[in-house]
Amino acid sequence: MTDQSPTLLFVYEPERACFDRLVAEGSPPTRAAEIASYLAQSTDIEPEFDAMAQACARRGLRFDPVTLDDAPQVLAGRDPERSLVWTITDGIAYFRGGAGPALARLNGLPTLGADDSLFALCQDKFRSGAVLRALGLPVPEAGLARNGEWLAEPPASASGYFVKPNRLGAKIGIFSDSRCHSLEHALDLSRRVFAAYRDDVVVQPYVAGRNVRTSFLAVQPEAGVEALGTFFVDSGGDFQTMEDSLALYGETGAEARAAGTYAEPELVPVAASQPLAAERIGASASRLMQALGLRDVFSMDFRVEADDTVHLIEFEVCPGLPCFDFRAYCQAQWGLGLAEAVAETAARRFSSRG
């Protein structure tokens, strides 16, 4: 007899599948491993699938983790009344997770999280920044370069520039000299990024301040900005490089834990020392939820200056659920571990339908 329980379909792209595909397409294995490392959250979350299945079962749900390559077959023919699709890895270029919510829509299945149009928007940092600025949000202006040529020149900047990939990963600068002081250096960085990853670069005026991560999970469907978790992320560096990222997640992070050398950045609530900045961040999140349709689960990254000036760097529709910052948020805001937070969120969605 077929199990008729309501089912949470947890769609993800495995790190290994991405690596194998990139190598087959001609990427050098070293570069393919670096690129695929952005999917380390899928590697880190797999050991928790049993705990998630048990937490779901306690709430009368089935938990079904689905790899992206299997999703077209698994989602086809599902009963929309007994299905909920939660896509946990994103991507429109090197990664393909953005296909998850599109497949759900194709099959008429309800989703948890943003729709597929936002999956595409947030992964193109230049276009995303243009939209956010048009909505009046405090996003640095930007230029766009490809392999040493300007596609759009950035504004003049007395503070120098920050150079980051346009579609690869998120806010990290890749190289230790990603903060630079001339447009010539910025173009040189664009050549290096293009040679290594075949990506354009966004070139923004450098903005000072501390790094802030804002996380959101609507465990309760009606939750709004009051459920945001906004923390300074103090790692000791001005910005994150590829090397820093690799040290926190996936196999490299696991090796560091085994060797006793793993160190997470410190998380400090912004409201404790800069309540005005926290209020401004909340207003930005509210604007994105109202104007763009961000919902259910997302994150935002900011730079906050000592005078409470806030700079929105980016938003993400697939925050790293198993990452230290999101776990800390779930515990601080909802009093739940990750598996319980996932299961409770899904269970309340099914209940709200009824």
Average pLDDT over residues 151-157: 96
3-state secondary structure of 13: coil
- In which band, very low, low, confident or very high, does the pLDDT at 121 lie, cut at 50, 70 and 90? very high
**What are the tokens at 53?**
């299945």
Span(s) in the chain for CATH 3.30.470.20: 210-334
Q: CATH number for the 210-334 domain, one of 2.70.98.40, 3.30.470.20, 3.30.930.10, 1.10.3720.10?
A: 3.30.470.20
State the average pLDDT over residues 164-169.
Answer: 85
Question: What average pLDDT does this structure show over 196-210?
Answer: 93
Question: 130-155 in b/e burial notation, b at 16+ Cβ within 10 A?
Answer: bebeeeebbbbebbbbbeeeeeeebe
Structure pTM?
A: 0.91
Distance CA 200, CA 269 (A): 34
| pLDDT score, position 171 | 45
Model confidence over 227-280: pLDDT tens digits?
999 999 986 555 555 555 555 555 555 565 566 555 678 899 999 999 999 999
Average pLDDT for the chain: 91
Report the C-alpha gap between 163 and 160 in whole angstroms: 10
> What is the reported pLDDT for 245?
55
Q: Report residue 218 as tokens.
A: 């609507």
39-64 average pLDDT score: 96
pLDDT value of position 1: 38
pLDDT at residue 58 greater than cutoff 80: yes
194 three-state secondary structure: helix
Calpha distance 51→59 (Å, rounded): 13
Average pLDDT over residues 61-80: 97
Which amino acid appears at position 17 of this protein? A
The answer, yes or no, to whether residue 170 has pLDDT greater than 90, is: no
| 156 C-beta neighbours (distance < 10 Å), count | 7
| Residue partners of 130: CB distance under 8 A and separation at least 6 | none
**Mean pLDDT of the 40-46 span:** 94
Dist. CA 320–CA 344, nearest whole Å:
18
Percent of the chain with pLDDT strictly greater than 70? 89
Percent over 90 (pLDDT), the chain: 82
Looking at residue 265, its pLDDT comes to: 81
186: left (phi over 0), alpha (psi -120 to 50) or beta: alpha
Q: Average the pLDDT over 206-232 and give the result.
A: 96
> pLDDT at residue 131 above 80?
yes
What confidence score (pLDDT) does residue 113 get?
96
pLDDT beyond 70 at 64: yes
